[in-house]
Amino acid sequence: MQQIISSIVQFLQQGIAAIFKFLELIWTWSFGQIIAVFQSDWKSLPVWKLVVLIAVVAVVAYVLYKAVIVLWEAAVAVFAAFVALLSAFVSVLPYIVAAGLIAFAGGWVIHNVNF
């Protein structure tokens, strides 16, 4: 049974690693293309190519703005989830303390009380 669970965990780890590797590849390629556009020789371009370049830069800026908004919303959601997890830990703390006190009392009775 433990071997099956270990295999499943290893499969999930490999899948997650492959997803992150793919994301890294896409991000690297995309930012390489964006940097290449900004490194164009703006001074030697004809007017129509300059207009296209400005349009491309504007669209890229808009798309990156939208990406930043999505990433910001995701970061806020992660933070909210973390706060919810911490508040859940704090809310169950009295139950954990009660269980510990009951276990302590039971252990004390078992070890120290003789009838």
For the chain, give every domain's residue range: 1-39, 46-115
Q: What is the pLDDT of residue 115?
A: 79
Q: How far apart are CA 31 and CA 48, in angstroms?
A: 25
Render pLDDT for 5-53 as a digit per residue (tens, 0 to 9): 889 989 999 999 999 999 999 989 998 998 888 887 878 888 898 898 8
Copy the structure tokens of residue 90. 């704090």
Going 88 to 89 to 94 to 100, the CA torsion angle's sign is: positive
**Among candidate residues 55, 57, 51, the one with its CA nearest the CA of residue 38:** 57
Q: What is the pLDDT of residue 87?
A: 96
| Radius of gyration (C-alpha) of the chain in whole angstroms | 29
